[in-house]
Amino acid sequence: MAERSDRQKLRLVAAALAACALGAAGFPLSRTAGAAASQNIKQAMLNQLARRAEVLNTPRVRRGLADDARRSVFVPGHVVVKFRARATERDRALMAYEIGGTALVRPSYADFHYVSIPLDEDPVEAAARLRQEPDVVYAEPDAAVFPLYVPDDPAYKYQWHFQRIGMEQAWDINPGASTGITVAVIDTGVAYLDKGAFARAPDLSGTRFVAGYDFVWDDAEPIDFDGHGTHVTGTIAQTTGNGVGVAGMAFNVTIMPIKTLHTDWDEAWEAPYPYGSSTTARGIRFAVDNGAKVINMSLGALAGNTATLEALQYAVSRGVFVSISAGNEALKGNSPSWPAAYAKNLNGVVAVASLGYDLTRAPYSSIQDYVELAAPGGHTGVDRNGDGYVDGVLQQTFDSTAQEAGIFNQFAYVFYQGTSMAAPHVSGLAALLMDQGITSPAAIEAAMKRFATDIGASGRDNETGYGVINPARTLRGLGLRR
């Protein structure tokens, strides 16, 4: 593994000090190199005495990983290659050897292989050499992927993002969908498990979960170390009507947590499988093969990935709707974001832009020809509704101070911003429509576009697509009444 940055080293030291000072363990301090040793770190955390979750009720502000500038375009150490069916095992091994490959692996939930290369070798160049082989369908560097951020729940009054799209009227038509609809959240994991050093987010106490998978650690416990996936899950299915905290949009659905994003603590603990966009592709296939009907992907990469494109095609062909954040690049050169860029050519896959309280494009939200719909994603630089808090999207997730110290049982209600926060609103609406019997992903996309409220230039535009989602009008427009 490449040498850690000074910031990462400081995080490790801070975590150790915080664990001692607070009397609540962060990560185990004894570590050895290698995948097996790394796996033992996570298991050691899981095997500790269970920690009771604590809630800090003062709302916090965190912009989330979508604003992280420390991003490289491609993951070092491997390339992704799909061989033609006629290539024998010996042929595949020889092709890998000829570009300096050190290992050849066919991972689960994939129709491609990983060719390991030295960390200091350029994966773009290695992939280009492999593409010269006649028995290679495609060979690509692996694009680095990153996250993009009237119930009786007392803090619902601060969830302007539901009120502004008329969710109270939509809940009159469909009160939160049903557990028969499974939404896969492909993200950093979810705080869904009470085990060892990890605790379930208290405001997800009544939310139903089914088995997911952790592709970063290669096990069946996709636990969140960051908080991004937990926040996203809350927008879709936070426990609602329980007199606690905040609400979720399709609060009765079942959540399938799938971890594909390799974040700071995964890196610090040397997670054994720090792959990129190809891992997202595997997560999509897992979700489809295990019963998900809606997939939320609040993530993005700065380069495309054929494996992910083919996985999205596989999803819609099997009746699964996909919502993807459109990217937060408008203030940083406005580069396109994948896999959102694939959405315009796939019926049933939607790229979602972000809006502020005034339902105009948030300043960071990417302006691209693939943007199809818009939803609230927040703007933590303003308080336009005058409620005393910034206009971020509010959900429960880790308390950021504790999380940065490696402590995963302290929670707070936190305002995030980002197209990551916009995408789950579209996933929530898709779940409501699925629950009403609209099972075609293409039909769901068409309905959302038809009944969206056009807020930009007339017709589709590159800032907000066909407009802001209108849940009540979409449900009523299809003749679906309570």
In the chain, what are the domains? 74-142 (3.30.70.80), 146-477 (3.40.50.200)
Give me the residue label for tokens 């800032």.
Answer: 463
β-pairing verdict for 254-259 and 208-209: parallel
**Residue 6's pLDDT is what?**
44
Please state the φ and ψ torsions of residue 444, each to the nearest 5 degrees: -65, -45
CA distance 359 to 371: 16
The whole-model pTM stands at 0.86
Is the separation of the CB atoms in 31 and 287 below 8 Å?
Answer: no
CA distance 397 to 426: 20
Q: Work out the end-to-end distance of the chain between its first and last CA atoms, rounded to an integer number of angstroms.
A: 56
Q: What does each C-alpha distance from 289 to 106, 172, 213, 315, 441 come to in angstroms? A: 18, 33, 12, 9, 16
**Residue 45's pLDDT is what?**
81
Q: Give which of 245, 259, 253, 251 is closest to 209, Cα–Cα.
A: 253
**Residue 25's pLDDT is what?**
36
**Residue 11's pLDDT is what?**
43
Q: How many CB atoms lie within 10 A of CB 99?
A: 20
Q: Which residues of the chain have pLDDT under 70?
A: 1-39, 57-71, 148-153, 479-482
Is the separation of the CB atoms in 389 and 357 below 8 Å?
Answer: no
CA distance 390 to 78: 42
Q: Omega into 274 within 30° of 0, i.e. cis?
A: no
